[in-house]
Amino acid sequence: MHQYVEAAPGVRLWTEQRGDADAPPLLLIMGAQASGLGWPEPLVDSLAAHHRVIRYDQRDTGRATWSFDRQPYRIADLADDVITVLDALGIERAHLVGMSLGGMLVQMVLADHPDRLISASLIGTSALSTTPYTRPDGTQLPADELPGIFPEVLELWSRPVEDHGLEAELDRRVAHWRVLAGDQLPFDAGFFRTLERRIIEHTGHYTTNNAPGRADDSDMLRTDQLAENEVPTLVMAAPAEPVFPPPHPQHIAQVIGNARLVEIPGMGHALPPAVHAPLADAILAHTGAAS
């Protein structure tokens, strides 16, 4: 079932619901520049066997309103959109699963609206905390000195995006996923090409948008609130992660109260078929215990 939700005057978000309407709700929140269809169908179906699963297009993605150039917004507004979606769909409390920027939005909701969550799951993201990371030997590493984005990712992101037609754009997107996926699992180019073709068909065009990278990212830190968190929180550790490499997930699990860590073998900053089953198993075990 598809439904549009008004996030701001003149700004709509596309939402999709799947699964039993009476099952515990689970909201999937994708990363920057990523449509809700970035959550692969097999993973969504696995989760929907136990949950009322909702995924949505954030502003400037998919079928949502592309509004930033005429109506700039803050990253904090995207976190507020999470609550807007829950309200519009009549959901009082939900399990939240966030990837990348989506994981940051989940942390902001954890801190600001803990009463709206049953549980939280974080994938491929970074802690919104200034608390240092404590290494296994007991020494500490300042949060701002944790490893940064891999150079090959930054180089890829620095390239200008040029329009050479649909197939060339699909080539570019598949090459992007190849780098993000890391080097520990075989890369399935056909899977990601099909994924991106569906996203383009869903969106209606293949224009790219870097709005989240231009949005005001002030007022995102939630150090004290996250430390006091009581909502059951699962942190997925991805050993091949090139955007927020280890020990970012270990740091998150340290600085968020009531958090625990689960490693997804071989995972990078992508959701290829090889991680669907272990990811679904980890999330469902977590949501089942929290419920």
- In tens, the pLDDT along 5-38 reads 999 999 999 999 999 999 999 999 999 999 999 9
DSSP string, 95-157: EEEEETHHHHHHHHHHHH-GGGEEEEEEES---S--PPEE-TTS-EE-GGGS----HHHHHHH
pLDDT digits (tens, 9 = 90+) for 102-145: 999 999 999 999 999 999 999 999 999 999 999 999 999 999 99
pLDDT band, very low/low/confident/very high, at 209 (cuts 50, 70, 90): confident
Q: What is the model's pLDDT at position 154? A: 95
Q: What is the model's pLDDT at position 185? A: 97
Please check whether residue 259 is in contact with residue 205, taking contact to mean a CB–CB distance below 8 angstroms: no
Parallel, antiparallel, or unpaired: how do β-strands 2-8 and 11-18 relate?
Answer: antiparallel
Please check whether residue 122 is in contact with residue 98, taking contact to mean a CB–CB distance below 8 angstroms: yes
Separation CA 163–CA 287 (nearest Å): 42
Dihedral (CA of 61, 268, 96, 217) sign: negative
Q: Which CATH superfamily is domain 2-148+210-290 in?
A: Alpha/Beta hydrolase fold, catalytic domain (3.40.50.1820)
- Domain residue ranges of the chain, discontinuous segments joined by +: 2-148+210-290
Mean pLDDT on 169-187: 97
DSSP state of 74: B
Q: Please state the pTM of the whole predicted model.
A: 0.97
- Token pair for 274: 């090889």
